[in-house]
Amino acid sequence: MTVEVGAQALLALPAVLAVIASGVVRAAAPSLELDVELDPGTRRFHAVALVAPAARDFRFELHQSLQVTAASADGKTVRVVPAGREGPIFAWQVQMPAGAARLRLEYGGMLPALDRSLDDRGVLQGLPLMASSEGSFLSAAGAWYPQPAPLFSYRVTVSVPDDQRALVPGRLQSESLPPGGSGRYRASFEFARPAAGVDLMAGPWVIREKIMPRRNGGPVRLRTYFPRELDAIAGLVDGYLDDTRRYLELYGEEIGAYPHTEFSVVASPLPTGFGMATLTYIGAEVLKLPFIRATSLGHEVLHNWWGNGVYVDYSRGNWSEGLTTFMADYAYKERESGEAARAMRLAWLRDFAAVPAGHDPSLASFRSRIHGAAAAVGYGKSAMVFVMLRDVIGEEAFRRGVRAFWEEHRFRTASWSDLQAAFEKAAGRSLASFFGQWLNRAGGPAVTIAHAGAKAEAGKVRLTLTVEQVAPAYTLRLPLEIVISGRAEMRSIDVGRQRDVVTMLVDAMPEGVRLDPELRVWRVLDRAQLPPILRQWVIAQAPRLAQASGVEDVREAAVALAKRVFEIPPQPVSQDALNMGTEPVMLMGLHADVDAALAHAGLPPRPASLAGHGSAQVWTIAREAGPPVAVVSAKDAEALRALLGPLPHYGAQSWLVFDGRRALDRGVWPAPGRLIAVQNER
Ligand SMILES: [Zn+2]
């Protein structure tokens, strides 16, 4: 009896052997076997590929620098026919003879050179192939091999000159370096699970290794592939290997066992920073930065579960960056302190507040796979959805949902709806309205307390709130702070209409109430919850500079500093501008002159927490009306000039104290939001 198994089922069951109608048994899962010879110095590339495609009518792509020199199936020559091109990528087509299982392709050429002008974005877009003795990167999207199917297993053997090392994601099968230093380095890798692509990296690396034992799943081979000068930095290799181990243990515990037997930290000549299965490829200069091991490394390790473990169909929305940001970057902030976690939520909401209405996509249509300013809102909102989801269903159900999602979808493509299903099962209830509103709607709710009143009632006090939101209304559970005799008490309220009236009993007459002071709900923040930070001045479209002092030396230093701080040259204005127009103003001068100018304009005086400290002080003024004002106050012209280098780097701060060039202290003004007075309605 013969059974024909469709391509869809084959993807889901990669290990199954299908018996096709002709009676010939063949390995059903699409696979690729590659034998690659790469000479980074001359950029010569040659490969022999054995492809088991998903369909007999096989289409594949190759970069324009690579030409097929021989093609056969079961020993018989086959024709490779052009099938179009997109930019530097050519499409090809082969009709596999009936009964033939594998296509053999020989191809090669001279790869493009390393392009040092590319940033993280350029590399992530994956278009270039690049080779050089400093480092080579052949990304899957660059079409350096014939891809058998959207998901496929592979085995790659790569050979490079003996002063180079090379790798692809997967299990290391063998590795050899002929003695005498005159041969070639060869290494073989296998990726037996369905993979979405293969990236190949090579470089002048020293390989260091540590074996990490595991209770289940056997040991994990941890490696660094660093250039000699990086490898020589005391403690760096050990630091990376030990921290990698810590992250693998953490996420193995939280989500499910690490699905591979290796993890490598690989240095790139470009300022990249991204994760692939079994490795992360990070710029050599970036690897030296002290905070990378505390943040990016964990993020990239976690992508072995999200993105490279459970795959993303980008056409259906990118859930992976949000979940990874939530379980890595954000989780580290939570571990640091509640304040640090709040600051991260504020940063997401601030980015969102800065986007003009109608310019942010819904999460379901957010497809970007690029880290960058344009993507910041999408990632922030996506991560915040997980913060809110955990608040809604509770820590335990959230954990079960994460584990179940991994268990069910590892090495398959999953979408937001698969995530929703996993969390619904874990929580034991429908989350359709939760996911519906956060995924399908752009923007966010704008909620206000329109009225708060209270009345004594049988020894207690009944508090009644009128909560309004812009239509169409969101269904929200909102944290509410109630201030009673100077003490804050937290409750939560449920709203779902344009106008909701909510009542509750409290112990005594409250002075005031405040919505979501900890910023746990994605929404349009009002000005009282957005503390002014210097970035608002830096990126201003028509910034203004007001001089407080008349001394020529000081005025010149102020003009030079303003040129450095603002992206657009500022307009010189008089001190009257502090109360005129809407565009940001920066007031600069000597301490006494600044104090006089502030008093004259009726603005708040120098904050007491800054007065008397350092050689220069910088602060922003939070105000309800009038143009945004920031102040730079220095003890002399020299102290002002000292800020030329450092000040532009502190856009995220509300205030700073400098001693010369050094920032002694800095921070963001607290902004819990407006306290709404409660009317006594006795
Ligand atoms: Zn990421």
User: What SS3 class is residue 261?
Assistant: coil
What does the pLDDT read at residue 15?
30
* Nearest alpha-carbon partner for 513 in 492, 537, 538: 492
> Measured in angstroms, how far is the CA atom of residue 311 from the centroid of ligand 1?
13
Q: Could you tell me the two tokens for 310?
A: 């459970």
Peptide bond connecting 472 to the previous residue in cis, omega within 30 degrees of 0: yes
> Measured in angstroms, how far is the CA atom of residue 274 from the centroid of ligand 1?
7
Render pLDDT for 358-383 as a digit per residue (tens, 0 to 9): 667 788 877 665 544 456 667 889 99
> Measured in angstroms, how far is the CA atom of residue 321 from the centroid of ligand 1?
5
Please, are residues 575 and 599 in contact by the beta-carbon 8 Å criterion? no
Read off the amino acid at residue 379.
Y
> Measured in angstroms, how far is the CA atom of residue 381 from the centroid of ligand 1?
14
Average pLDDT of span 174-192: 86
Rounded CA gap, 136 and 138, in Å?
7
> Measured in angstroms, how far is the CA atom of residue 306 from the centroid of ligand 1?
9
pLDDT at position 14 over 50? no
Percentage of the chain modeled with pLDDT above 90? 74
Contacts of 45 (CB under 8 A, 6+ apart): 36, 37, 38, 39, 65, 66, 108, 109, 110, 111, 131, 144
Average pLDDT of span 130-148: 94
Rounded CA gap, 521 and 534, in Å?
25
> Measured in angstroms, how far is the CA atom of residue 309 from the centroid of ligand 1?
13
Render pLDDT for 193-218 as a digit per residue (tens, 0 to 9): 989 899 999 999 999 999 999 887 78
What does the pLDDT read at residue 99?
87
Query: Do β-strands 152-161 and 31-39 pair in parallel, antiparallel, or remain unpaired?
Result: parallel
Q: Comparing 110 with 379, which gets the higher pLDDT? A: 110
For residue 354, the cross-strand partners are none
Q: Could you tell me the two tokens for 253?
A: 């515990």
> Measured in angstroms, how far is the CA atom of residue 374 from the centroid of ligand 1?
15
Render pLDDT for 607-653 as a digit per residue (tens, 0 to 9): 999 999 999 999 999 887 889 999 999 999 999 999 999 999 898 89
> Measured in angstroms, how far is the CA atom of residue 322 from the centroid of ligand 1?
8
The 3-state secondary structure of 6-53, one letter per residue: CHHHHHHCCCCEEECCCCCEEECCCEEEEEEEEECCCCEEEEEEEEEC
What does the pLDDT read at residue 22?
36
Average pLDDT of span 465-474: 94
The secondary structure of residue 668, as a DSSP letter, is -
What does the pLDDT read at residue 13?
28
> Measured in angstroms, how far is the CA atom of residue 491 from the centroid of ligand 1?
35
Taking CB atoms within 8 Å and a gap of at least 24, the contacts of 400-405 are 400/426, 401/425, 401/426, 401/427, 402/254, 402/255, 402/327, 403/255, 403/256, 405/310
pLDDT at position 19 over 50? no
**Torsion angle defined by CA atoms of residues 21, 26, 30 and 35, in that order, rounded to the nearest 10 degrees:** -150
What does the pLDDT read at residue 1?
28
**Torsion angle defined by CA atoms of residues 586, 590, 596 and 598, in that order, rounded to the nearest 10 degrees:** 20
What does the pLDDT read at residue 28?
63
- CA angle 124–128–130, rounded 5-degree value: 115
> Measured in angstroms, how far is the CA atom of residue 189 from the centroid of ligand 1?
24
Widest CA span in the chain: 98
What does the pLDDT read at residue 637?
96
pLDDT at position 7 over 70? no
Rounded CA gap, 94 and 58, in Å?
5
Render pLDDT for 646-680 as a digit per residue (tens, 0 to 9): 999 898 899 999 999 999 999 989 888 889 999 99
Please, are residues 368 and 374 in contact by the beta-carbon 8 Å criterion? yes
What does the pLDDT read at residue 657?
97
- Mean pLDDT, all residues of the chain: 89
> Measured in angstroms, how far is the CA atom of residue 444 from the centroid of ligand 1?
24
> Measured in angstroms, how far is the CA atom of residue 485 from the centroid of ligand 1?
46
What does the pLDDT read at residue 115?
75
> Measured in angstroms, how far is the CA atom of residue 301 from the centroid of ligand 1?
10
> Measured in angstroms, how far is the CA atom of residue 326 from the centroid of ligand 1?
11
Render pLDDT for 60-107 as a digit per residue (tens, 0 to 9): 999 999 999 999 998 899 999 999 999 889 999 999 998 888 999 999
What does the pLDDT read at residue 126?
52
Q: Could you tell me the two tokens for 48?
A: 């022999």
> Measured in angstroms, how far is the CA atom of residue 303 from the centroid of ligand 1?
7
What does the pLDDT read at residue 376?
64
> Measured in angstroms, how far is the CA atom of residue 367 from the centroid of ligand 1?
13
pLDDT at position 241 over 50? yes
